[in-house]
Amino acid sequence: MVESSMLGMLPDGSCAMKYTILVGNATLTVTDFGATVLGLSVPDRDGNVDDIVLGFSGLEGYFDDPACYGATIGPVANRTRGAELTIGSQPYALERNDGPDNANNLHSSLTKGLHKRLWERIEDESDDSLTLACNLADGELGLPGNRRFTATFSLVEEQDGYRVDIRYRCESDKETFVNVTNHTYFNLAGHASGSALDTVVAIDADSFLPIAGDHVPDGRILPVASTPFDFRTPKALGQDLGQTSVQLERGHGIDHCFCARGWEPDGKLRHALSAHDSKSGRTLDISVTAPGIQLYPGNWLDDPEGKDGTSYRAGAGFAAEAEYFPDCVHHPSWPQPVCTPEKPYEIGISWMLGTYVQR
């Protein structure tokens, strides 16, 4: 079932709501401010329930939140070189807010993007899901089309655990560009347990996108073999962070998009990443419909007043963001997330939470 309560007031006097989905021993909490995941509580191997996502206790923390905890990012997530793109033959300018001399764009707008908007709730037929919607006018945030975004969050009990499904959709009356992601940070031992760099992770990716000095992909697709970005065999997140690597230096660690195997433009989910924590026994399997998944182990986290009074430092949680490749609009050979009146944009993300018995 879905319970609702007031989370807080926005500076303009609007009321932000908190929605809690309870299924079995699991709880998913989402706010309509930024269609943001506030919490996800699931049992460990001993049945103890902990919240495993980072965030803040109150609404105010999300007003100025460079880490984008739990947020729905868009209409264009990640970085766009030159803060410009072309749709058809028409150039469009995005907000310049990132990189040297603020020449690039990050997450559309850090103050007006989808993660800073108050979404509206749409009545959902399911008792265990929540659908939110947000409209952008033609030209708003620099892109064409009267656009309607929807985000549906579902919590399902499975035989071996719990599954969270997130579905994003955009409808537009003009051809436009959309690349939405979710920016939740996980710590499978519990959000207040300290570093997540001991989490063992495997990624179904044989290649990744190296970045230039401005953190934007440099246009190459390189094999992960013999690099710190090789997660084909499970290893701890922090295992290879001490290696000498230009890419690690540029990203201040790992902050790169991995080319998840098997992408087809059919919208089908496929497994992309698995993780487990030996202390709690919790496991996480992420499936996506997007071509890429950005791994970011919280390299720059520094929040002294996180949820429940917790201080989050570098490595306190990891984000695994399903996305079309960053700056793909400037690389026509890469998959392109174009949205037209005839073909809406859609992306799916699935988090499967379970446990294993330590041997």
Pairing verdict, β 36-43 and 79-80? unpaired
- Catalytic residue, from 95, 107, 115, 183: name it: 183
Which residues does 204 contact at the CB level (< 8 Å), separation at least 6? 232, 260, 261, 262, 270, 271, 272, 273
The question of whether 115 is a catalytic residue gets the answer: no
For 157, half-sphere exposure in the C-beta direction (CA atoms, 13 angstrom radius) is: 12
3-state secondary structure the chain: CEEEEEEEECCCCCEEEEEEEEECCEEEEEECECCEEEEEEEECCCCCEEECECCCCCHHHHCCCCCCCCEEECCECCEEHHHEEEECCEEEECCCCECHHHCEEECCCCCCCHHHCECEEECCCCCCEEEEEEEECCCHHHCCCCEEEEEEEEEEEECCEEEEEEEEEEEECCCEECECEEECEECCCCCCCCCCCCCEEEECEEEECCECCCCCECCCCEECCCCCCCCCCCEECCCCCCCCCHHHHHHCCCCEEEEECCCCCCCCCEEEEEEECCCCCEEEEEEECCCEEEEECCCCCCECCCHHHCCECCCCCEEEEEECCCCHHHCCCCCCCEECCCCCEEEEEEEEEEECCCC
Name beta bridge partners: 190.
none
- Catalytic residue, from 95, 256, 321, 323: name it: 321
Whole-number Å distance between alpha carbons of 138 and 311: 41
The question of whether 183 is a catalytic residue gets the answer: yes
Q: Which residues are catalytic?
A: 183, 321
